[in-house]
Structure 1
Amino acid sequence: MKLKIRTLYTTKIAIMKHIAWCLLLLSQCALGQIAKEDDLNDISGNPYLLKDWCEGVVRFTSGRTVNQFKLKFDCLKNMLLMQFNGSAFAAESKVQEFVMYPKNKDSLLFRRGFPQTDKTSESTYFQLLWQGKASLLRLPARNIIEEKQIVTVNGRISRRMEEVEYYYLYQNGALTLLPADRVALPEQFSDKKQPVAEFIAAHQLKMHSPDDFVQVVKKYNELLAGQ
């Protein structure tokens, strides 16, 4: 009995140390992020991908995986937030990827470490929509719009967040921004542009949704496989 109690106690201590380690990593960025919040107080709109906190899994570059935290993704700052016992923290740089599990929706996988572009860096999180020889990445973001015709009570120009999203093709170690234009899009698929254009026309895709882009990239992978 004493051995069993000691084993349970040891296990509990190990779990608490594991959680403490995670909180220590997260808190490294928390103070810096709090200092920036005041700059956003006068901007209307929702910066988060999803309104509610979600269950999730976080994987670090060391290979360590944790699932004790609830997750939220800030599209404005491209930042992962993690919650534990009611306290929220900004995830630090050693996070490699994370998965969010919204209620009654499909899971969302985000990953970073992709090549730098004019809009992104290697630390930018992308949602992985399709993985293959050519992968499809989605970047949900927010633009800040100044409404100069509207002035707030404190004399500042009114600002609001506009939801935007960008799609990238990841192939041969490079990222290519995909235009949300059904006519211009096939040009990004080099020698496969003609069959891709025909596929878009045949399925009447408007390129207004993630599913439209998934269908196109999936078709492109099929064409590559058939070479």
Structure 2
Amino acid sequence: MTLSKTFNFRFLILIACLFQVENAMSQAGAGGNMLLNDNLGRPIAGREYVDIKGSPFLTEDWIKGIVKLENGDTFKDIDLKLNVKDYILLFKGKNNEALAFVKKPLEFRLYDRLFRTGYNLADKSDQNAYYEVLYDGGAKLLKLISKDIKEAREYNSATTTKTFVETAKYYIAIDGNSLVEITRSKNSILGALKGPKVEQVKKYLSENKLNLKDDADLVKIFAYYDSI
């Protein structure tokens, strides 16, 4: 191989390597999986919950998940834990400490459960809440899980006991990100849905024995609504 051909061959290899590096960087910037480091988190600020039975977290254990931040960055296979009292998503730092994201997470997955923020309520409450997306179609079915502190005093006792109590509310979003709260009842669901499809959904409910207290059966209603 002549000197000229050797130079040209090495030059082509260099160009190919640079192209691969640039392509990998552009994929990461477009939301591909990136390496999460502690610089993207901050120590948890605010009060600690002491002398309260239970936990403010959705689950006690860390769960492997996927997170998409407001700047578009996506991180996979990281340990996550959701505080449903204050609606703060935490990740585990390199020293096993709990850190909050500096950039706000827009959505994340815990196993097969999808959570998302950015929905609007008429009373402007829960602006930072994370809703579990039970059905993600044209009509979205959302579940808001929260924990509040309840105080109770036993009869003839001066001691007050504080306990975390979990509650769940259900919402639908049909037009954009505006939410309508529903209860798990036939009348509430039909009243919140819009357009000519309502009568067909009403017929579907009468012909199928669905348990409206079961999330899986609720999802069937909205999947049917989208199919007609």
Which category describes the TM-score, using the shorter chain as reference length?
0.7 to 0.9
State the match for 1:91 in structure 2: 101
Match among 47, 63, 70 for residue 36 of structure 1: 47
The Cα shift of 1:119 comes to: 7.0
State the match for 1:71 in structure 2: 80
Q: Percent of pairs identical after alignment?
A: 25
Could you say what secondary structure the match of 2:154 adopts?
strand
The Cα shift of 1:178 comes to: 1.4
Distance 2:161 2:104 in 1: 36
Check conservation: 1:44, 1:159, Cα contact below 8 A: yes
Match among 178, 182, 194 for residue 178 of structure 1: 182
Check conservation: 2:89, 2:101, Cα contact below 8 A: yes
Q: 1:144 to 1:200 in 2, by over 3 A?
A: farther
Could you say what secondary structure the match of 1:213 adopts?
helix
The alignment yields a C-alpha RMSD, in angstroms, of 2.9
Structure 1 segment 153-168 matched on structure 2, within 5 A = 157-168=160-171
Please identify which structure carries the higher helix content. Answer: 1
State the match for 2:15 in structure 1: none
Could you say what secondary structure the match of 1:172 adopts?
coil
Gaps of 5+ in 1: 1-10, 102-106
Match among 133, 136, 144 for residue 141 of structure 2: 136
The Cα shift of 1:71 comes to: 0.6
- Once the two structures are superposed, residues 5-44 of structure 1 have per-residue CA deviations (whole angstroms, 9 ceiling, x without a partner) of xxxxxx9xx9xx9544xx23320xx342xx311xx21221
The Cα shift of 1:80 comes to: 0.8
Could you say what secondary structure the match of 1:133 adopts?
coil
Check conservation: 1:151, 1:157, Cα contact below 8 A: no
- Once the two structures are superposed, residues 39-62 of structure 1 have per-residue CA deviations (whole angstroms, 9 ceiling, x without a partner) of x21221233222321111111121
* Alignment coverage as a number of residue pairs: 195
Distance 2:93 2:155 in 1: 39
The Cα shift of 1:151 comes to: 8.6
TM-score by length of 2: 0.73
Residue 65 of structure 2 is aligned to residue 62 of structure 1: no
State the match for 2:150 in structure 1: 145
Distance 2:156 2:58 in 1: 28
Q: 1:117 to 1:79 in 2, by over 3 A?
A: farther
| Structure 1 range deviating more: 209-218 or 193-202 | 193-202
Check conservation: 2:44, 2:99, Cα contact below 8 A: no
Q: 1:64 to 1:43 in 2, by over 3 A?
A: same
Match among 30, 33, 41 for residue 26 of structure 1: 41
Residue 202 of structure 2 is aligned to residue 187 of structure 1: no
Choose 1 or 2 for highest CA Rg. 2
